Amino acid sequence: MCSNIEPFCAGDQRLVFANSNEENTDVDVAEEGPDYGCLSEQPFPSWFFMQIEKPGDLKFTLAQNTQADFSGADLDVDFIVWGPFERTDDFCSYDNLTEENQVGCSYSEAATETMTINNAQANAIYIVLITNFERLPGFISLQQQNPNAAGQGSTDCSILGNALGDDIAVCGEQEYVLDGTSDEASAYAWYERLEGENEYTEIAGEEGPTLTVTQSGDYRLILTDVLGDNSEADDVTVTFYDNPEIGVAGDLYSCDSSGTVDLTENDDDFIASQGSGFSVRYYETQVAAEEDTRISSPATFNFSGEQSIYARVENDETGCLSEIGSFELLAYDFPQLNLPESAALCVSEEGNLVNDLVLGADVGTQFSYEWRAGSTILGNSAILTLTEDPQVTFLELILTSLETGCETNYQVNLEQVYVPENLSVNISGSGFGDGYTLEPMLEASRDNPFAEYEYSLDEGAWQAAPFRNVSAGNHTIRGREVNGCGPTLSFHVYLVGYPKYFSPNGDGINDYWNVLNDAEGSIRRLYVFDRYGKLIKQLDPRNGKGWDGTYNGKQLPADDYWFRVEVQDVKTGERQEYMANFSLIR
């Protein structure tokens, strides 16, 4: 009823208070007499008055919800404002609550309204009626918009019926000071309700604005306003509680640098053995923990880098908080696992696996391993040995950290490589000039697109083909598949050539010069000239030792000499001539 009107003010913070509903009042419709303006219905009325402190415009956000933290269902909120009045006026006189004195009114279906009072003067009084159209228990929120902006007025919070605030839970302290100080109060009187009694008893000697209490109980403060004979009483219940304890929690790891982390995984460790009725609040900084500015969604906390996370255990019944604990939020890094992107399955012409394929690496017992071929699990060991073709194009390894639950996937593509069965060598060039080029080639009985081959000349290093500038003489070429598929094959070749120098000094070493002919005698004619083009000797490379460095029985001097040779291709019969020089050394 308006006769029970209560003061309120907006202040710098949002004011939240219970609405009128069937659980806390029998008054389900507003009294008759006032002009309710746009409010065609006035279910479950809540009457308030506010006093203006700083003149100016005031704009308020008014909202209604089923939950005090406004996390529940929205409720339709309606209001009407009358004013301005003097402090000495009879606020609830129906002569004042008229259409002429209406300042604002809303009857929309919205759960959030804007209530505006323009050009409010200092000390003026405004009456506000808020109704609960949906008739459900809930809470009303009042918050002034931009209270410190230029031209904005403010409400007077110096004396309220709720001067002591809501019921007080004193956590971990031996005493608490109740403070009802008001600039407009002329007298204070404190009362206490003794255990087992219904009436409040005045506390002798307590006539100041504060009262120090050391035990749980119900207390009352009666304020007398300096503006006439206006007393207001405020009751409060003070309860002393021990603070909850906080346990030790381990560090948490983010499995994904761009994902979220469930901080509540540490709830049980922090609550420890205290049982049910406790919850954990999480904070991003030490200061936030001290100010109780908690993380709003700890179960889906966005990981943006390694950091310390702070926590406090709350007693759900009392609201008391523990000391501050902490743990580290870390990025989990998997160890380096050197798996190839592709692996060769060595198969025979019939498609049977010739060699076992061994994959994987053991990075420790703190991980679990799962090898998959499609939906089939092949094994749970660090090392996988395939003895049969799994008939899939790739294998998957799922590596899971047993400590953190983080997992990562590796994929190895499988490529069928057929055993090479033949090694051939394409020979080009000659033993004269730039020498021979040998181009070996391994071949399988079937198309082998995934095979990789390498070759070795005369036990030399393995390399890709071809071999260039190969000298004359006997040579052995070996070929193998890089992944070890099949045996190493060999090819032997004899290349025709000539020595670059000779020394006819009778020591039995390099005393004669001749071309290195092949067994089929492909070289047909051979001529030796001096540097001036004079024919010195005609040789038959198929017979004799060769040239001994003389001309007409006389030794020729050390010098460069030239030869011309005619070579016949034993396969085609085609003849070609080559010329080159060599040295006679004395």
Q: For residue 521, give the amino acid letter.
A: G
Instruction: Based on the fold, state whether residues 103 and 189 are members of the same structural domain.
Output: no
In a domain, residue 572? The reply is yes
Q: How many residues does the chain have?
A: 586
* Residues in contact with 375: Cβ distance below 8 Å, sequence separation at least 6, in sequence order: none
The pair phi, psi for residue 272, each rounded to 5°, is: 55, -130
What's the pLDDT at 228? 43
What's the pLDDT at 562? 95
Report the alpha-carbon distance of residue 475 to residue 347 in Å, rounded: 31
In a domain, residue 337? The reply is no
The domain tally of the chain equals 6
Instruction: Based on the fold, state whether residues 75 and 172 are members of the same structural domain.
Output: no
Which of 155, 189, 217 terminates a domain? The answer is 155
Instruction: Based on the fold, state whether residues 13 and 108 are members of the same structural domain.
Output: yes
Instruction: Based on the fold, state whether residues 10 and 78 are members of the same structural domain.
Output: yes
Report the alpha-carbon distance of residue 448 to residue 323 in Å, rounded: 70
> CATH number of the domain that 115 lies in?
2.60.120.380
Instruction: Based on the fold, state whether residues 369 and 481 are members of the same structural domain.
Output: no
Full residue range of the structural domain in which residue 511 is found: 501-584
Q: Is 198 helix (H, G, I), strand (E, B) or coil?
A: coil
DSSP string of 89-142?
S-TT-TTTSSSTTEEEEE--S-SEEEEEEEEEPTT-EEEEEEEETT----EEEE
> CATH number of the domain that 367 lies in?
2.60.40.10
DSSP string of 37-77?
TT-S--BS-EEEEEEEEE-EEEEEEEEEESSTTS-S-B--E
Instruction: Based on the fold, state whether residues 105 and 228 are members of the same structural domain.
Output: no
Instruction: Based on the fold, state whether residues 373 and 454 are members of the same structural domain.
Output: no
Tokens of 550: 């003389």
Q: For residue 134, give the amino acid letter.
A: E
Measured CA angle at 62 (ends 61, 68), to 5 deg: 115
What's the pLDDT at 428? 84
Measured CA angle at 449 (ends 444, 452), to 5 deg: 75
Q: Tell me the average confidence (pLDDT) per consecutive run of 10 residues in the chain, 586 residues long.
A: 81 85 93 95 93 91 95 96 88 92 95 94 92 95 87 74 75 93 80 88 94 94 67 87 95 86 95 93 97 95 93 94 95 89 90 90 95 94 93 94 91 93 88 83 90 95 94 88 92 81 92 76 84 93 86 95 82 76 92
Instruction: Based on the fold, state whether residues 76 and 212 are members of the same structural domain.
Output: no
Among 142, 55, 50, 117, smallest CA distance to 87 is for: 50
Instruction: Based on the fold, state whether residues 299 and 391 are members of the same structural domain.
Output: no
In a domain, residue 161? The reply is no
Among 149, 33, 138, smallest CA distance to 82 is for: 33
DSSP string of 463-481?
B-S-EEEEPSEEEEEEEEE
What's the pLDDT at 183? 63
- Tokens 């020089």 -> residue: 581
Q: Is 264 helix (H, G, I), strand (E, B) or coil?
A: helix
Report the alpha-carbon distance of residue 187 to residue 233 in Å, rounded: 12
HEC per residue, 341-366: CEEEEEECCCCCECCCEEEECCCCCC
Instruction: Based on the fold, state whether residues 325 and 374 are members of the same structural domain.
Output: no
Instruction: Based on the fold, state whether residues 76 and 103 are members of the same structural domain.
Output: yes
- Terminal CA-to-CA distance of the chain, rounded, Å? 136
Q: Are strands 278-283 and 307-315 parallel, antiparallel or unpaired?
A: antiparallel
What's the pLDDT at 211? 96
Contact yes or no for 222/231 (Cβ under 8 A): yes
Contact yes or no for 342/449 (Cβ under 8 A): no
* Residues in contact with 570: Cβ distance below 8 Å, sequence separation at least 6, in sequence order: 520, 522
Contact yes or no for 503/468 (Cβ under 8 A): no
Contact yes or no for 234/189 (Cβ under 8 A): no
Contact yes or no for 52/154 (Cβ under 8 A): yes
Judged on CB neighbours under 10 Å (0-12, 13-18, 19+), 219 is buried
Which of 495, 519, 547 terminates a domain? The answer is 495
Report the alpha-carbon distance of residue 355 to residue 348 in Å, rounded: 10
Measured CA angle at 395 (ends 391, 397), to 5 deg: 150
In a domain, residue 489? The reply is yes
Which of 418, 445, 462 terminates a domain? The answer is 418
> CATH number of the domain that 447 lies in?
2.60.40
Q: Is 564 helix (H, G, I), strand (E, B) or coil?
A: strand
This prediction's pTM: 0.45
